[in-house]
Structure 1
Amino acid sequence: MAILIGQDSRIVIQGITGREASMVTQHTLQYGTKVLAGVTPGKKGQDVHGVPVYNTVREAVEAHQVNTSLIVVPPAFALDAVREAIDNGIKVIVVTTENIPQLDTVKMLHLAKLHDVRIIGPNTVGLINPNDRVKLGSIGGDNPERCFVPGHVGVISRSGGMTAETSWMVKRAGFGVSTSVGIGGDALIGTTIRDLLELFELDPDTHAVVTFSEPGTMFEEQAADFVKNGGFTKPLISYIAGRFTEQMPEGTIFGHAGALISGSVGRPSGKAARLREAGAHVVDRYDELIEVLQHVLAAKEAK
């Protein structure tokens, strides 16, 4: 098992005929993931690496009963693409698009909540389930096996690149990944760390979770409260990057749009303190993830 994607995922790619989407489609198919349909208005009858293209999501649903969408469209069209997917019953939507206007993001997240739809992103590298060889997004590129091997450790990362790096650290520790998720670097996203911990708690094949965090947002503090209140009971190992940012002028944005410190909000030191108080294993150096993960899982298996 895993979370969000698996053997039951029936995938459509919205914007499939674009250059980036075409490349992602090729890598996804090479990994073994079944992409059943693509959608680009006006391009019905074409195919992308053998995947049939339709004008609308409705046509793709009628022809292939798709239930999961990867959205790779320009920022101006992202809200319409999400709305179309939701209107046609899609329940898992991965939005890779970055630089979406904030008002559009607010609208799409509101729609998703109203219709009980799970959005990953926006501005996400995607997610991967190595056990079932299913991936959505550019995650893993053309060689996912380099970093993502089957196993029982969940990975959550704000950074796209560090999603792969952290999964590689899990591999170096001698373990593999159940599901690895890049949640996106924006301040407004559809699925937070706390949300994913709730899903990982219910997954019997996930034995521990590793998180990579950045400055900004209250995501880690929300996760800490969830853990402290008993919502997540498995081992949680966390690394929070960017402690140097606390010495920089307030309001400076570091890379991602969501990596912004304002007053006491978003400080790595505060995030670390809250997570430690909740019982998480917070490492000060990134390479400590390997040793701590080995120790924690060995102790868990010994019980």
Structure 2
Amino acid sequence: MAIFVDKDTNVLVQGITGKFGALQTKLMLDCGTKIVAGVTPGKGGQTQFDVPVYDSVQQAVNKHRVDASVIYVPAPFVQDAAFEAMDAEIKFTVIITDWVPLHSEMKIKAYAKGRDTRYIGPNTPGIMVPAQTSLGMISPSAVMPGSVAVISRSGTLTDEVASQLSEQGIGQSVVIGLGGDPIIGSRMIDILKLLKEDGQT
């Protein structure tokens, strides 16, 4: 398994019925991502691209095995969404949203400390394992399967570096955008330590 996620990872989308969340959900499904549930308060009982929608993360995890969550909610609600994912004991969360208030970022970081969870973002393009799964909005046309890991804090550079490698026939084991905000969930050194033990990289 690549670090964090692979083709067997069951994914929850928080904010699945919003305009941006819905668009990205469709693109992730097209990449083969196993999206098993979505959450939008007040929209429980609906479906989005045949994915069942729940009012809360806890309701979703009560019905499905969820390994990872992707957060597409508006910035003022990111803190609550992240807390909800952590309270439901989801092991890995990707916070796509940008312009998250600094104090919210600080609180999310503190809330995650000591818990059996890890997150990337906020303000990240996400994570992609080429030909397996995508959590976020890294361009599938930029990547190809291989053994080189790409890690960046810049969303634009994440795609650009992967694209340049692919053009030279150098595939990627995983492509990760850590997030461009001042306070993010995972540091470069944290990821490098995990990659050192990853047999696919």
User: Do the two structures share a fold, i.e. TM-score over 0.5?
Assistant: yes
Who is 1:173 aligned against? Answer: 168
Tell me if structure 2 keeps the 8 A contact 1:26–1:49. Answer: yes
Q: Which has the higher contact order (CA 8 A, sep 6+)?
A: 2
The separation in 1 between residues aligned to 2:108 and 2:28, in whole angstroms, is 25
Tell me if structure 2 keeps the 8 A contact 1:163–1:182. Answer: yes
Counterpart of 2:43, as a letter, is K
Who is 1:192 aligned against? Answer: 187
1:89-137 deviations in Å (ceiling 9; x for gaps): 1010000111111111111111112213111100001010014x20001
1:191-224 deviations in Å (ceiling 9; x for gaps): 1111110111010110xxxxxxxxxxxxxxxxxx
After superposition, the CA RMSD in angstroms is 1.0
Q: Specify which of 191, 197, 200 is matched with residue 202 of structure 1.
A: 197
- Which one has a larger percent strand, Structure 1 or Structure 2? 2
Who is 2:146 aligned against? Answer: 151
Length, aligned pairs only: 201
The separation in 1 between residues aligned to 2:177 and 2:42, in whole angstroms, is 31
- Identity fraction in percent: 44
Structure exhibiting the larger radius of gyration computed from Cα positions: 1
Who is 1:114 aligned against? Answer: 114
Who is 1:83 aligned against? Answer: 83
Who is 1:7 aligned against? Answer: 7
Tell me if structure 2 keeps the 8 A contact 1:109–1:119. Answer: no
1:37-186 equivalences under 5 Å are 37-131=37-131, 133-140=132-139, 144=140, 146-186=141-181
Gaps of 5+ in 1: 207-303
TM-score by length of 1: 0.65
| Secondary structure at 1:5 match in 2 | coil
Counterpart of 1:178, as a letter, is S
Gaps of 5+ in 2: none
The separation in 2 between residues aligned to 1:173 and 1:4, in whole angstroms, is 26
Q: CA deviation at 1:7?
A: 3.0
Counterpart of 2:134, as a letter, is K
Q: CA deviation at 1:24?
A: 0.3
Tell me if structure 2 keeps the 8 A contact 1:67–1:89. Answer: no
Counterpart of 2:70, as a letter, is L
**4+ residue stretches of structure 1 with deviation over 2 A?**
none
Counterpart of 1:180, as a letter, is V
Query: Relative to structure 2, which stretch is displaced further, 107-116 or 32-41?
Result: 107-116
| Secondary structure at 1:194 match in 2 | helix
Who is 1:26 aligned against? Answer: 26
Counterpart of 1:163, as a letter, is T
| Secondary structure at 1:53 match in 2 | strand
Who is 1:211 aligned against? Answer: none
Q: CA deviation at 1:172?
A: 2.2
1:145-181 deviations in Å (ceiling 9; x for gaps): x211100000011111211110112112221000000
TM-score by length of 2: 0.97
The separation in 2 between residues aligned to 1:89 and 1:63, in whole angstroms, is 14
The separation in 2 between residues aligned to 1:66 and 1:46, in whole angstroms, is 19
1:223-247 deviations in Å (ceiling 9; x for gaps): xxxxxxxxxxxxxxxxxxxxxxxxx
The separation in 1 between residues aligned to 2:82 and 2:142, in whole angstroms, is 30
The separation in 1 between residues aligned to 2:13 and 2:43, in whole angstroms, is 13
